[in-house]
Chains A and B, each alone.
Chain A
Amino acid sequence: MNALPALQPILDEITHRFGDRLSAPRLERPDEIYFHAKLDLVSGFCGHICKRWNARLMNVFADDARTDDGVFYLYYVYALDSARGFIILRAPVPPDQPEFASLTNAVHAVNWQEREVQDLFGLRLIGHPNGRRCALHDNWPDVHPLRKDFDLRATLPPFQGPRHNFRVVEGEGVFQVPVGPVHAGIIEPGHFLFSVAGEPVLYLQLRLFYTHKGTEKLFESIPANHGVRLAESISGDSSFAHATAFCHAVERAARMDAPPRARALRSVCLELERLYNHIADIGAISNDVAFIVANSHAMRLKEKILRLNECLTGNRLLRGMACLGGVRWDWDRPRLQAVTDTLAALEPEFEAMVGLIENSSSTRDRLENTGVLKPEVARDLGVVGLAGRASGVDADLRRDFPHAAYDSIQFRVPVYQAGDAQDRMRVRVDEVRESLGIIRQLIAKLPGGTCRAPMPEWPAGRVALGWAEGWRGEIFHWIRTAPEGRLARCKVKDPSLQNWPALSEAILGNIVPDFPVINKSFNLSYSGTDR
């Protein structure tokens, strides 16, 4: 196996520069290359590859390999957008000295991810600017659920002590507004502590992980084919994207590719998921600034797509469709025609709804300059997906790392610079139009053949990265295989985990009554973050 031609010069340069401090590159796939190095090289490697090769550190996670190799491993995943490949650095952490140096001061984007490793694996962070608990609440006992010697079904004793230790915010006229975990609407749980002086917000502290369900641990206890159904339940509104990213990872570990027709149908489903969520959000954002009639239209249009989903896959959220090796159901002529007809009828109605919103000056007034996430802040925090694209971050896995069938079609990635709620709405509107075009192209040249290939047996000990650009942004699953079609580890990264800290920045200086619309304009998944 050879690396991608565009990656080769990078690998050569890195190998030359770090010499014997770095292992020889190990190629899992032509676009997925692993290096092994001692912990003390992590920081230098990061600084070099980010500066010299404009790499993006997008994933930090750990794996308990004590039974096989006697150590924990830390993995640092770098995306090289220009070369369309991933370089992954693996560093061992000895169990008798369970600690590692933080990169957060250099790369703010890994703040929460590093703390999650600390909580779930018990590897102590050195030099983190805010090394408090993140994934486990402060009242949890001293347990590390992702260690292999921790039992999934363990019954933890009743929790004691304060649930959250907040930072103190003081000053004349400063007061605190605690909100949640049960919110006023039909939304997921989380706790927000606003520190305000008068109306503007001075500081927002987020406490999530209320819906932590032990999902990553659960993946280790079930066969990989059942894992597809679990992946569908990571974040319900991204069921198909998560399931597809998971299948992608397992297929890459098994060194196989889904057949062309399956990849095309996967892309169609990903776009249908994007359509119903984007349309719902456009309505919900309007609703939060009191333009309720637009929301009614949006919910009506969303329903049309959910019913199309049901006709195509038997489930309104596309559940059950994904499977290892392809998709479970092929679509006959009438079904394909239903897609074409539904979207043809939807388009003018969607444009009419957008017209109403664009002509509503009060809506524009509330959205413009509200919840501004500046491009430089977005880049620092590594904000991904539509929130990133509304703040000048020109990244989209569909274009940069084409998965499913995205290498066979033409589309535009909308990018805006203002980073306000209005731009996050604009990105959605543009992407709905693009999605309609993408689906049309896919249907027009749908490849023939089977929609599902048999999975070959795969050996234990393989590692693989799988991904999909969900409607929120990039979704990653990383797996290590175990014997008999099982997994020893499945790391799940939802774009929400990456984007939540940006909300704390976007809210600064805004008034508390604008928080709902700012929050909705990001519309991050709590369950995807908490898992």
Chain B
Amino acid sequence: MFDILRESFRTGVVTTSFPQTPPDVSPAARGNLEINFPAWRDPGPAAAVCPVAAISSADRAGIRAVEVDLGKCVFCGLCAEIEPAIRLTNTCTLAVTAREKLKKNAQYHLAGGVQGEWIPPAQTGETETAALGGELKTNITQIFGRSLHIRQVDAGSCNGCEVEINALNSPIYDAERFGIHFVASPRHADMLLVTGPVTRNMELALRKTYAAMPEPRLVVAVGACGCSGGIFGRNYATVGGVDSVLPVDVYIPGCPPNPHALLHGILLAVGKLKL
């Protein structure tokens, strides 16, 4: 008993102060793609090396539309190795509230099959993520009486996402400091945290788990496979991303998303919930 206490005191507090402070990730970590669209001359080579077809382009009526889908991206960095217009940053907090927001789009003039000038996009407004922790506290207090209960469902993942979700219960990330608990039953849950791709064999179990939850309820899709089906996509054994089965409130990309990214996505989902 004495040894246990001594060891705990010796260790001290190890919990991160995220989200008050930035995520503590290595500069070498591969996160968000920074794309210099005006300088990108041809998406073909990058699309060819992408193992998950996250980079695509379509030519129509003198316009080439290029799309980079972070919902599919496994952040392997192969595109950046050959394409100087693409750079991987170590930004990992990439969760969004709509699938479309994971897509980076650009348009180019096309002349005789050759890509020309980049067409600057029309102005759009982007506001998200600021002061997450504070917002969360108010929302949780209002709706769930100081606590958010999460039921995690592995609907077919490779277990990589589970490794990282488990870390939320570690003393480093300690989700409990936000009143976030992982619970054993969907009956007790406010949020369904789903990893995918959803397999044919798990589709029914996933639907039943969702049906067993009381309202209001949230669904968060985790990882490239949860967001889009990932490297597995749709095939005879899988039905694709989580949103092909359930309505999804927040998408957390990554392969797997690290615990900071997971926390960020969960907090984002709760911030969104307004009754």
Q: Are A210 and B156 in contact (CB under 8 A)?
A: yes
Given A156-B200, A293-B4, A356-B3, A319 and B205 contact (CB-CB distance below 8 Å): no
Residues of A close to B161: CB separation below 8 A = 236
A319 touches B255 (CB 8 A): yes
Complex alpha-carbon distance, A356 and B10, angstroms: 13
Indicate if A412 sits at the interface (CB-CB under 8 A).
Answer: no
CB atoms of A300 and B157 under 8 A apart: no
Chain B contributes a number of interface residues (CB within 8 A of A) equal to 61
Nearest Cβ on chain A to B148's Cβ, whole angstroms: 15
Are A152 and B236 neighbours in the complex by a CB distance under 8 Å? yes
B116 within 8 A of A: no
Q: Is the CB of A319 within 8 A of B8?
A: no
A159 touches B166 (CB 8 A): no
Q: Which residue of A lies closest to B77 (CB)?
A: A320
Q: Is residue B111 within 8 Å, beta carbon to beta carbon, of the partner chain? A: no
Partner of B162, one of A145, A155, A236: A236
Please provide the chain A residues from 289 to 336 with a CB less than 8 Å away from any CB of chain B in the complex. Answer: 293, 296-297, 299-300, 302-303, 306-307, 310-317, 319-320
Q: Does A168 make an interface contact (CB < 8 A)?
A: no
Chain B residues, Cβ within 8 Å of A320:
30, 74-77
| Residue B184, interface by CB 8 Å | yes
With A185-B184, A210-B156, A320-B76 in contact, is A215–B232 under 8 Å at CB? yes
The DSSP consensus for interface residues of chain A is loop
From the candidates A217, A239, A300, name the one contacting B14 in the complex (CB within 8 A): A300
B45 CB to nearest A CB, Å = 14
Query: Do A355 and B159 have beta carbons less than 8 Å apart?
Result: no
B170 touches A526 (CB 8 A): no
Q: Does B65 reach chain A (CB closer than 8 Å)?
A: no
B21 to chain A, nearest CB (A): 16
| A-B contacts at CB below 8 angstroms, number | 190
* Chain A hits for B20, CB < 8 A: none
Query: In the complex, what residues of A have CB within 8 A of residue B7's CB?
Result: 293, 297, 352-353, 356
* Contact present for A356 and B159 (CB under 8 Å): no
**For window 156-193 of chain A, which residues contact chain B by CB distance below 8 Å?**
156, 159, 181-182, 184-189
Give CA–CA (A313, B75) in the complex, Å.
12
Query: Is the CB–CB distance between B4 and A356 below 8 Å?
Result: yes
Contacts of A215 in B (CB 8 A): 232
Given A356-B3, A359-B3: A145 and B152 interface contact (C-beta under 8 Å): no
Query: Does B82 lie at the interface of the complex (its beta carbon under 8 Å from any beta carbon of A)?
Result: no
Is A116 an interface position by the 8 A CB rule? Answer: no
- Give min CB distance, A325 to chain B, whole Å: 14
Residue among A151, A186, A210, A314 with the highest chain B CB neighbour number at 10 A: A186
Residue A18 interfacial (CB < 8 Å): no
Report the bound CA distance from A428 to B152 in whole Å: 28
Q: How far is the CA of A235 from the CA of B158 in the complex (A)?
A: 5
B179 within 8 Å of A (CB atoms):
no
B256 CB-CB contact with A under 8 Å: yes
Our pick among A145, A188, A222 for the contact of B159 (Cβ within 8 Å) is A188
Q: Are A300 and B200 in contact (CB under 8 A)?
A: no
Instruction: List the B side residues contacting A353 at CB < 8 Å.
Output: 7
Q: How large is the interface on A (under 10, 10 to 19, 20 to 34, 35 or more residues)?
A: 35 or more
Chain A residue nearest to B230 (CB atoms) is: A233
Separation in Å of the B77 CB from the closest CB of chain A? 6
A293 proximity list for chain B (CB < 8 A): 4, 7-8
Q: Which residues of B contact A416 (CB under 8 A)?
A: none
Most buried by B among A213, A356, A359: A213
| B237: interface (CB < 8 Å) | yes
* Complex Cα gap A280–B165 (Å): 13
**What 0/1 readout, one digit per residue, does chain B (1-34) give for beta carbons within 8 Å of chain A?**
0011001100100100000000001101110000
A236 engages B157 (CB within 8 Å)? yes
A209 at the interface (CB under 8 A from B): yes
Nearest Cβ on chain B to A141's Cβ, whole angstroms? 10
Q: Are the C-beta atoms of B152 and A213 separated by less than 8 Å? A: no
Cβ of B138 < 8 Å from any Cβ of A? no
Which one of B4, B11, B158 contacts A233 once the chains associate, using CB atoms below 8 Å? B158
| Interface set of A (CB-CB < 8 Å, partner B) | 137, 143, 145, 150-156, 159, 181-182, 184-189, 209-215, 217-218, 222, 225-226, 228-230, 233-237, 239, 280, 293, 296-297, 299-300, 302-303, 306-307, 310-317, 319-320, 352-353, 355-356, 359, 525-527
What are some 30 contacts across the A-B interface (CB < 8 A)?
Answer: A150-B236, A155-B236, A182-B209, A186-B154, A189-B153, A189-B154, A210-B156, A210-B201, A211-B199, A214-B236, A214-B237, A217-B236, A233-B225, A233-B231, A236-B158, A236-B160, A236-B162, A237-B159, A239-B160, A293-B4, A296-B171, A299-B167, A300-B11, A300-B14, A300-B172, A306-B167, A314-B88, A315-B29, A319-B74, A319-B160
**A293-B8, A299-B167, A319-B255 given. 6 additional CB < 8 A pairs?**
A159-B200, A215-B232, A230-B51, A230-B231, A314-B29, A316-B256
Point out residues on B near A: beta carbons under 8 Å: 3-4, 7-8, 11, 14, 25-26, 28-30, 51-52, 74-77, 88, 152-167, 169-172, 182, 184-186, 197, 199-202, 205, 209, 225, 230-232, 234-238, 255-256, 258
Smallest CB-CB A-B distances: 4 pairs? A236-B160, A299-B170, A184-B184, A229-B51
